[in-house]
């Protein structure tokens, strides 16, 4: 049976886009008949979970990072070799770039030398986690130098890989320019039945509007970190309250390093609420469909699943000026682009969007999201797997 093994240290039980990708991928493969998918899940202990004849989850005991993060790190040959020996995969996908690609490559060379090695570029780390923070603290010149070093590191990690899967065309161009293995565009999907304007809850709308039908309502279900724009949003709230002459209703859901700041803001502002970490897709859809607009503030998204889910629920977006957020907003004509990364600019963009033809932009958002499906995503990906595996065997 054609077998695919997935390794990814970006998996987290409370994660966002990467978690959604793997959950949807498992849902697709558990119904297949001629292929076996094995997801290697970083966990607190070792055990095998057989979901169906075509889907197995291998739980691997892995080091847990301290703090509010729930990430675990697979990095030892002893964690990887048993899985490769057990399943002898035709394709191995590695979804995180730190150490793991090199360790997997070394193990595969000894155990399954003809297996196709593919990565999935879930995070544009040379820009997001290297250049941007270094430039912010030490200046653009040092940031640019560190970006070059990070891309050099990525080239070493993914040396002799057979390809890199990418979901954002802007990022794809950047990887090609920096000498990564051949890139393949794999746009991700959206469950447009689950995420749908019909999930609107009039009782929730009434609660959020709190007696004022003109009150702006916003749902922010993203990780509470600087990258996702939580600082910008908290800073923009008072500006919005003053310029709109009414406090917006803001629902924050998730977790992350800025959770204490979020809770402090909620205590201070009566129209802010913290909904915790929402695991239920149906509950997410209910909130998305019951507010006026969405925010896609990370300029470093490699696809932005939550952006598409929000749009599928009929939400116009304020989007960052770069990355997948900008790609979605521009191609859909369903929102406004952030002119600069500041709370003042965010407040201006929200007000501009709120006072525009919001009804038409909501329709545009839904129509755009309907172009994407998870089945199409994984069928395209499986075709790519087979193509590269066949090519590798013929060498």
User: What CATH number should be reported for the domain holding residue 7?
Assistant: 3.40.50.2000
Same domain, 325 and 295: yes
Distance of alpha carbon 17 from alpha carbon 197, whole angstroms: 21
Give, in order, the Cα–Cα distances in Å from 315 to each of 72, 151, 182, 277, 278. Answer: 34, 35, 35, 20, 18
Same domain, 343 and 382: no
Domain range spanning residue 339? 197-369
Please report the pLDDT score of residue 173 as a whole number: 95
Same domain, 77 and 174: yes
Same domain, 76 and 210: no
Backbone angles phi, psi at 348, to 5 degrees: -60, -45
Tell whether the torsion through CA atoms of 159, 185, 284 and 279 is positive or negative.
negative
Please report the pLDDT score of residue 70 as a whole number: 84
Same domain, 84 and 204: no
Please return the burial class of 198, using the count of CB atoms within 10 Å of its CB with bins 0-12, 13-18 and 19+: exposed
Same domain, 356 and 382: no
CB within 8 Å of 158: residues ≥ 6 apart: 97, 101, 119, 164, 180, 181
Distance of alpha carbon 305 from alpha carbon 311, whole angstroms: 10
pTM to 2 decimals?
0.82
Same domain, 116 and 218: no
Same domain, 251 and 135: no
Same domain, 113 and 247: no
What's the number of domains the chain is made of? Answer: 2
Distance of alpha carbon 385 from alpha carbon 250, whole angstroms: 43
Counts of helices then strands in the chain (DSSP H, E): 16, 16
Backbone angles phi, psi at 148, to 5 degrees: -60, -40
Same domain, 217 and 248: yes
Same domain, 92 and 9: yes
Q: Which residues of the chain have pLDDT under 70?
A: 68, 395
Please report the pLDDT score of residue 68 as a whole number: 66
Distance of alpha carbon 177 from alpha carbon 179, whole angstroms: 6
Distance of alpha carbon 8 from alpha carbon 25, whole angstroms: 13
Same domain, 226 and 343: yes
Distance of alpha carbon 58 from alpha carbon 48, whole angstroms: 5
């Amino acid at each position: 049976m054609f077998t695919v093994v997935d390794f990814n240290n970006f998996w987290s039980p409370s994660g966002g886009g990467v978690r959604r990708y793997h959950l949807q991928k498992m849902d697709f493969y558990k119904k297949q008949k001629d292929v076996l998918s094995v997801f290697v899940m970083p966990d607190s202990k070792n055990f095998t979970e057989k979901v169906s004849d075509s889907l197995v989850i291998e739980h691997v005991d892995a080091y847990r990072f301290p703090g509010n993060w729930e990430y675990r790190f697979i990095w030892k040959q002893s964690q990887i070799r048993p899985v490769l020996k057990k399943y002898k995969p035709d394709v191995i996908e590695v979804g995180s770039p730190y150490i793991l690609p090199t360790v997997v490559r070394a193990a595969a060379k000894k155990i399954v030398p003809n297996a196709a090695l593919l990565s999935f570029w879930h995070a544009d780390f040379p820009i997001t986690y290297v250049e941007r923070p270094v430039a912010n603290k030490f200046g653009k010149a040092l940031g640019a130098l560190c970006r070059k070093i990070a891309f050099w590191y990525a080239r070493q990690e993914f040396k002799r890989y057979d390809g890199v899967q990418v979901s954002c065309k802007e990022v794809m161009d950047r990887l090609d320019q920096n000498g990564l293995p051949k890139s393949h565009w794999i746009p991700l999907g959206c469950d447009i039945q689950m995420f749908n304007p019909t999930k609107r809850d009039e009782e929730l709308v009434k609660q959020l509007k709190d007696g004022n039908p003109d009150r702006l309502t916003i749902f922010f279900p993203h990780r509470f970190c600087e990258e996702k724009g939580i600082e910008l949003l908290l800073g923009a709230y008072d500006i919005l309250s003053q310029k709109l002459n009414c406090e917006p209703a803001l629902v924050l859901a998730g977790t992350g390093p800025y959770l204490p700041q979020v809770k402090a803001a909620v205590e201070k502002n009566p129209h802010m609420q913290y909904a915790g970490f929402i695991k239920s897709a149906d509950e997410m859809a209910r909130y998305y469909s019951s507010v006026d607009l969405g925010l896609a503030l990370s300029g470093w998204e490699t696809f932005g699943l939550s952006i598409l889910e929000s749009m599928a629920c009929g939400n116009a977006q304020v989007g960052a000026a770069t990355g997948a957020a900008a790609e979605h907003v521009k191609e859909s004509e369903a929102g406004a682009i952030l002119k600069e990364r500041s709370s003042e600019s965010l407040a201006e963009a929200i007000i501009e969007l709120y006072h525009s033809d919001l009804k038409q932009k909501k329709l545009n958002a839904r129509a755009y999201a309907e172009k994407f499906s998870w089945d199409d995503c994984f069928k395209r990906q499986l075709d790519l797997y087979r193509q590269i595996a066949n090519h590798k065997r013929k060498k």
